Amino acid sequence: MSDLRYTKDHEWVRLEGDTVTVGITAYAQEQLGDVVYVELPEVGRKVEQGKEMAVVESVKAASEVYAPISGEVVAVNTQLTDTPATVNEDAEGKGWFVKLKVADKGQLDGLLDEAAYKAICG
């Protein structure tokens, strides 16, 4: 069983104490194709569940990345600025986007488990 939770918008979340690591799913990066640019929020920014938090651009399209839960950005993956293709290589690992300090752990209950997420991907 995966320790990840998912959104219908193809973000993943990994809870680590009172913070979560967030990125886009392997399915999302496959749909996007080669990632060429990632725009990350600034550390200290407060994000709201369901609102735009970051942008990812590929050779095919640009797409918003939505905050899966509300919280404060405590870290960003600066490696993605120089090597955005890391998202293609390891979307659910080294290709993480941000770490958020969780505002409301109850919001995690509304996220999908792996089986439910795979069901919506077809």
Where residue 38 sits, what CATH number does that domain have?
Answer: 2.40.50.100
Task: Output the average pLDDT for the chain.
Answer: 95
Cα–chain center distance at 53? 9
**Domains contained in the chain, number:** 1
Assess if residue 78 is contained within a domain. yes
Q: For residue 63, what are its two tokens?
A: 């797409």
Assess if residue 118 is contained within a domain. no
Residue 77 to residues 27, 40, 58, Cα–Cα distance (Å): 20, 8, 18
Do 100 and 19 contact (CB within 8 A), yes or no?
Answer: yes
The structure's pTM equals 0.95
Assess if residue 115 is contained within a domain. no
Among the listed residues 84, 78, 92, the one whose alpha carbon sits nearest the alpha carbon of residue 33: 84
Domain enclosing residue 30, as ranges: 4-104
- The predicted pLDDT at position 2 comes to 59
Checking if the pLDDT of 100 tops 80, the result is: yes
Checking if the pLDDT of 111 tops 80, the result is: yes
